[in-house]
Amino acid sequence: MKTLLVNGSPRKNGNTAVALGEIAKTLEAEGVACETFWIGTKPVRGCIACGRCREAGGRCVFGDDPANALAEKMAGADAVVVGSPVYYGQPNGALLALLQRALFSAPGSVHGKPVATVAVCRRGGATAAFQCLNLPFQMLGCTVVGSQYWNIAYGREPGEAARDAEGMQTMRTLARNLAWLLSNLSSAAIPRPEPEPWQPTHFIR
């Protein structure tokens, strides 16, 4: 079993990394391998709705940022955890741009998998950012994993989130819930339900 942890902060070793590190440490103690994918600090593109990814075999045609690499990493994992700092009550914009392109071009990379999201903030806005991060994964049939509280940690200065005792406990509880789910899914004999054919309905006909 393998979990991909996506560090959506421009600060590689900031408080988002602290929260994800607590999750990884607990998952590994539960026998789940972990890999961390940092989105970096280079410019990323937003989706331009060109639809070329459908013609290019599920790859975004813009190959000069980590969107395709992120999709490939998610496809190779049994579960995904996405962490982001909170900016103006929202996740990091670069992370959102990468997720939107990776998930639109390669939805099968996460479809039906266990997913968890984590928001890290100084003081407020974390619940809004947390909800925003969950939305695409709910659309893709993922099992969104929770904890004892919303998956939130607090900290401003680098490393300060480690002093958020409840936040770190929330991360550990999240990791144990995810490990339990992965263990049960790996031994399940019941296949997933077959999806019905999509019946799109538009408001303008």
- Which amino acid is located at 156 in the chain? R
Cα–Cα dist 103/93, whole Å: 15
Q: How far apart are CA 32 and CA 175, in angstroms?
A: 10
User: What residue ranges define each of the domains in the chain, with the CATH number in brackets?
Assistant: 2-187 (3.40.50.360)
Residues 11, 41 contacting (CB under 8 angstroms): no
Closest CA to 60 of 50, 4, 6, 92: 50
Tens digit of pLDDT per residue, the chain (205 long)? 999 999 999 999 999 999 999 999 999 999 999 999 999 999 999 999 999 999 988 999 999 999 999 999 999 999 999 999 999 999 999 999 999 999 999 999 999 999 999 999 999 999 999 999 999 999 999 999 999 999 999 999 999 999 999 999 999 999 999 999 999 999 988 888 888 998 888 887 6
